[in-house]
């Protein structure tokens, strides 16, 4: 199948700042793709370009098979966009919000009511359908916002853009939205996700790209990136300062204040045992240890240095 999203040399400049610098991306149909990067890396700009809300200064991009510049209307018919903040009318009920959006999208009165009912049930909002949106929790508003983006004939929506959709949500609400994203992907919809929550990308995304300086610093599955840039680490706490000094030459990371040292490992039980025996054959230097599994936080830090956004996990 052709890719759901493909960019080649995509460039965008704001004033004298080049936000995107020849960005190349390829997103396969029916997958969840997560775009990560520090603040100002160009994540939201990328979404705005792909959703035809702004025009690139150079390069090319196609979404659902359509050029984002020359076929803007076709792109817009094939996508749904949920921004960083819930865009619902707080004075309307949940059902009224969805019916209004459906009518504005061209559905008949009867079709709009039917679609609203379907989405209220799908996003577990039926019990709150007749309550004003201002009484909804943050998570409920985000689910209503996502539902509003899907009111059109579901067969026509091929790509859903979610720009930091879970910012500010509590863990339960975040998990609810994650379930909704998984359901979209399971039904063949492509989801393009930007997020500050690295655990979110790890759990949801089939592939992840990390932006920096307007370019793709790395791309791959979460596991590929963790294996390539992070790996496992055995964190050791020395029994005293002398023990710390004996262990230090073998470490790749160190925190003198807590007498903690990090030693690379493949994470297997055999390798951990062998390391402990080699580093502390008399079992007198190591007070305790912890196996630190590779995370996308580690990948992010490795690739972007000190510009890491909070992971909120």
- Give per-residue pLDDT as tens, 25-76: 999 999 999 999 888 888 999 999 999 999 999 999 999 999 999 999 999 9
Q: 5-227 falls under which CATH superfamily?
A: P-loop containing nucleotide triphosphate hydrolases (3.40.50.300)
Specify the pLDDT at position 192: 97
Specify the pLDDT at position 189: 92
Most confident listed range (76-80, 149-153, 183-187, 193-197):
76-80
| Class of domain 232-293 as given by CATH | alpha beta
pLDDT tens track for 89-117: 999 999 999 999 999 888 899 999 999 99
Determine the distance from the C-alpha atom of residue 94 to the mean position of all C-alpha atoms in its chain, rounded to a whole number: 26
> Is 90 exceeded by the pLDDT of residue 155?
no
pLDDT, mean over the chain: 88
Specify the pLDDT at position 220: 94
Gap between the Cα atoms of 235 and 239, Å rounded = 13
Indicate the domain borders of the chain: 5-227, 232-293
> Is 60 exceeded by the pLDDT of residue 309?
no
Beta bridge partners of 10: 23
300 and 36 in contact (C-beta within 8 Å)?
yes
Q: What is the pTM of this model?
A: 0.77
**Residues near 26 by beta carbon (within 8 Å), at least 6 away in sequence:** 3, 5, 6, 7
């Amino acid at each position: 199948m052709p890719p759901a999203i493909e960019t080649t040399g995509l460039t965008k400049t704001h004033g004298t700042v080049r936000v995107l610098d020849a960005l190349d991306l390829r997103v396969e149909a029916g997958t969840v793709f997560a775009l990560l990067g520090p603040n100002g890396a160009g994540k939201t700009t990328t979404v705005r370009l792909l959703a035809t809300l702004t025009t690139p200064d150079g390069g090319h991009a196609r979404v659902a098979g359509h050029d984002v510049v020359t076929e803007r209307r076709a792109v817009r018919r094939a996508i749904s966009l949920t921004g960083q903040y819930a865009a619902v009318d707080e004075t309307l009920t949940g059902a009224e919000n969805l019916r209004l959006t459906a009518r504005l999208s061209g559905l008949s009165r009867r079709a709009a009511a039917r679609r609203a009912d379907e989405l209220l049930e799908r996003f577990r909002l039926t019990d709150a359908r007749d309550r004003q949106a201002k009484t909804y929790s943050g998570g409920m508003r985000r689910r209503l916002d996502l539902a509003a983006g899907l009111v059109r004939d579901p067969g026509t929506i091929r790509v859903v853009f979610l720009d930091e959709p879970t910012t500010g949500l509590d863990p339960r609400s975040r998990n609810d939205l994650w379930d909704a994203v998984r359901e979209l992907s399971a039904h063949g919809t492509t989801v393009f996700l930007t997020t500050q929550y690295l655990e979110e990308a790890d759990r949801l995304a089939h592939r992840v790209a990390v932006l920096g300086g307007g370019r793709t610093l790395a791309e791959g599955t979460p596991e590929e990136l963790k294996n390539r840039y992070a790996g496992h680490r055995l964190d050791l706490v020395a029994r005293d300062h002398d023990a710390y000094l004996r262990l230090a030459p073998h470490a790749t990371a160190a925190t003198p204040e807590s007498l903690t040292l990090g030693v690379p490992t493949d994470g297997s039980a055999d390798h951990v045992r062998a390391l402990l025996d080699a580093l502390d054959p008399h079992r007198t230097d190591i007070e305790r240890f912890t196996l630190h599994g590779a995370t996308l936080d580690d990948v992010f830090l490795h690739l972007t240095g000190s510009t890491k956004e909070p992971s909120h996990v």
